[in-house]
Amino acid sequence: MDRITSAKVFITIVERGSMAAAADTLDISRSMVTRYLAEMENWADARLLHRSTRKIGLTPAGEEVLQYCKQLLSIADALPEIGSDKNRVPKGTIRIGCCYFTAQNFVADAVQAFLVQYPEVSIELAVNNQLIDLVENRIDLAIRITDTLDPVLIARPFGICHSVTCASPAYLKLHGTPQQPEDLKDYNCMAYANFGTNIWNFDKEDQHFSVPINGNFNANSSSLLLKAAIGGSGICQVPLHIAHPHLESGELVEVLGDYKLKSIGIYGVYRSREYMPIALRKMIDNLVDVFEQKLIQ
């Protein structure tokens, strides 16, 4: 049997979640799906799927074979079009993983514009503030705000995320304005929950300050912390990008502006440059432009 077709059938089974759904998608019979899957398992010399009456799941061998099958299809798609990328039409599915901040402020609009430009592409956006495994979750591109990159992944810089310490004028009028980082112990400081330890770091000239903070509200969403600060609940540290319009309008005031906060890189990370689908490559290039145009520095 055609091994390329077998690979395509196997990928479709995994993506659709059942052999019946794969048969409908590919417009072939259920028995043909079974035969192509058997061909893949015979080729791999391993069982690729756990089967039950309700769902299927990948075996460890199936996880590995799935990645090879995707590479095989990428190569098969590329061979007839080796001449030039400009003659190739982006198509296929791109799975993107990112946090809520990047999804709301950059990725959502970029994705919609990309789909209008390339209607043969479909995009699945997985939004999660937790670090997700690209292989386990079948993510083609993850957008991460981090200063610790995984050495086994390829990272494309998208920009720098600067932060700001801020509070509402009403809160500062009621409680006073801190003059130095040590003063924060007397204020309600609302922390980003994912960082684990409630310590804020500041730098001024050649001095570094690590300040334990306390507050009655933590969240793993910068937007929620920002909203709480605007409402007068306390002091927060959030990305400058989302705080900027509220600082401009006067709803928020920068606190300890003479002290610098650590800036963190924003990256698009992916598994390999080899056999990268043209749709994914164009999506990455597009996001580089979007972050450059929209990110407030």
Checking if the pLDDT of 86 tops 60, the result is no
Number of independent structural domains in the chain? 3
Structure tokens at 133: 């495994």
Of the ranges 46-50, 93-97, 147-151, the best mean pLDDT one: 93-97
Domain co-membership, 221 together with 178:
yes
pTM, whole model, 2 decimals? 0.68
CATH number at residue 226: 3.40.190.290
Nearest residue to 46 via CA among 27, 28, 66, 32 = 66
For residues 23 and 49, state if they share a domain.
yes
Average pLDDT over residues 286-291: 94
Interval 29-50 mean pLDDT: 91
Q: What is the mean pLDDT of the chain?
A: 90
| CB contact at 8 A, 158 and 110 | no
The rounded distance, in Å, linking the Cα atoms of 284 and 250 is 36
| Domain finish residue from 50, 81, 112 | 81
Closest CA to 219 of 207, 209, 228: 228
As given in the structure block, the two tokens for residue 7 are: 């690979």
Q: Are residues 146 and 285 in the same domain?
A: yes
140 and 128 both lie in a single domain: yes
Q: What domain range includes position 62? A: 3-81
Task: Look at the alpha carbons of 218, 222, 227, 233 in this order and tell me if their dihedral is positive or negative.
Answer: positive
DSSP state, residue 187? S
Q: pLDDT tens for residues 95-125?
A: 999 999 999 999 999 999 999 999 999 999 9
The lowest-confidence range among 16-20, 171-175, 202-206 is: 16-20
Same domain, 188 and 250: yes
Please report the pLDDT score of residue 118 as a whole number.
95
Domain boundary among 49, 81, 113: 81
Residue 173 has pLDDT above 70, yes or no: yes
